[in-house]
Structure 1
């Protein structure tokens, strides 16, 4: 599973906020694949050759390094790969992205004002450590379940719903969320994922290759993915979405004392559920130690609209946000979006 940003379907569900309440204002997301200049560009000369040279002097070298490290990490011990990633994250993050440290420090005070200064700094270190480990662990995800490194709690309600009908799994970016995909495959869950591809071509290729290995069907990002998502759910399938998200550098959810809104994936996911009758579950993973993880599944989420026909989409959004906020707060040192802006 990975982060998502899908735009929204155009349907009557999106119009059920009261006239005085918040309206959706965000434009639908349209993903443009990164372009990699090829040999034809080099031969063409002019601006195309200049673009080829720029790529292979910068991003192209990074892409080659990504592929090389991925291949190397696949044959190294799991614990060593994770440790290397953590060390790189702790080294690179604070030194090359000092502004991210400043944002993370401010965000921790917002997320959990009870934290002492020492606890804040420890969680910043944990954040960069976890981010580095997640990137490195792409190479060994396929070995985690077999090696007994993932435990799971309360999976039966979700597994039962998977057998019965449409299922919408709401997740968040804590621990290593990609490890949850490995666990789902081992449990026999067939599912589709709404996601935003990584920014660099090599990262995109690696991520999609690993996810296909888990049997996940990747739905098209942005507006093109809306109808396939609805069709999958209407057919009784399972779809995962991440509802903690960043758009244009700003954290959209959880809200953490900001005004609730209908512009993010919380509202989009719930529109999908309302349109198709999908039951919503929340799942999240945490890193226990090194490359060991624990995954917790919720019971079926009871939304206000399930018992009150007059409940608005915003009411449901607030209820689902109230489930995600404590998860992120309790695991803020492992939250991938900790260093993004809230305002």
Structure 2
């Protein structure tokens, strides 16, 4: 199911412009907040806002999990959805802290990856990565 807000975007109003300004202010404030607080705020915000403003996200996740785990009870599905929302919120909020993650020791880079990064040249490079988190963290690690 696609997001109805993307299919039919609302017109820009003074209210929407003020809301955008508030989002920008929040983002730039989070850029300077401690990383743990940034992550926790993202988790809390998404777990609060999605059930209220985007319930179809939870319905879709519930359908997918019930299909994937046919014998699971409602409590197990609810816990998985809560973990999903927690992860999405943390990932979204951590975009604000992304430039600081490597310096704070939050990115674990294997020796093999570091050796490969040192051997990179100006030639095009193909990287095969295991996607276990936020793709942008890889760029932050390479940039550091």
TM-score normalised to structure 2 length? 0.74
Alpha-carbon separation, structure 1, partners of 2:118 and 2:38: 35
- Tell me which of 41, 45, 52 is aligned to 1:84: 41
Q: Does 1:168 align with 2:141?
A: no
Partner of residue 135, structure 2: 177
Alpha-carbon separation, structure 2, partners of 1:102 and 1:166: 42
Alpha-carbon separation, structure 1, partners of 2:115 and 2:63: 38
Query: In structure 2, do the counterparts of structure 1 residues 158 and 93 end up closer, same or farther at CA, with 3 Å as the change threshold?
Result: farther
Alpha-carbon separation, structure 2, partners of 1:75 and 1:160: 30
Partner of residue 116, structure 1: 72
Query: In structure 2, do the counterparts of structure 1 residues 167 and 119 end up closer, same or farther at CA, with 3 Å as the change threshold?
Result: farther
Partner of residue 277, structure 1: none
Alpha-carbon separation, structure 1, partners of 2:87 and 2:56: 18
What secondary structure sits across from 2:127 in the alignment?
strand
Higher relative helix content: 2
Partner of residue 64, structure 1: 21
Query: In structure 2, do the counterparts of structure 1 residues 166 and 144 end up closer, same or farther at CA, with 3 Å as the change threshold?
Result: same
* Structure 2: runs of 5 or more not aligned: 1-10
Alpha-carbon separation, structure 2, partners of 1:170 and 1:148: 23
Alpha-carbon separation, structure 2, partners of 1:163 and 1:130: 35
Alpha-carbon separation, structure 2, partners of 1:92 and 1:170: 35
Higher relative strand content: 1
Alpha-carbon separation, structure 2, partners of 1:61 and 1:115: 46
Deviation (angstroms), 1:162: 3.0
Query: In structure 2, do the counterparts of structure 1 residues 86 and 93 end up closer, same or farther at CA, with 3 Å as the change threshold?
Result: same
Deviation (angstroms), 1:57: 2.6
RMSD across aligned C-alpha pairs, in angstroms?
A: 2.8
What secondary structure sits across from 2:12 in the alignment?
helix
What secondary structure sits across from 1:75 in the alignment?
coil
Query: In structure 2, do the counterparts of structure 1 residues 64 and 128 end up closer, same or farther at CA, with 3 Å as the change threshold?
Result: same
Alpha-carbon separation, structure 1, partners of 2:34 and 2:130: 27
Deviation (angstroms), 1:82: 0.9
Alpha-carbon separation, structure 2, partners of 1:73 and 1:139: 6
Q: How many residue pairs were aligned? A: 132
Partner of residue 316, structure 1: none
Alpha-carbon separation, structure 2, partners of 1:142 and 1:121: 33
Query: In structure 2, do the counterparts of structure 1 residues 115 and 90 end up closer, same or farther at CA, with 3 Å as the change threshold?
Result: farther
Query: In structure 2, do the counterparts of structure 1 residues 172 and 62 end up closer, same or farther at CA, with 3 Å as the change threshold?
Result: farther
Deviation (angstroms), 1:113: 3.1
Query: In structure 2, do the counterparts of structure 1 residues 131 and 56 end up closer, same or farther at CA, with 3 Å as the change threshold?
Result: same
Alpha-carbon separation, structure 2, partners of 1:172 and 1:60: 39
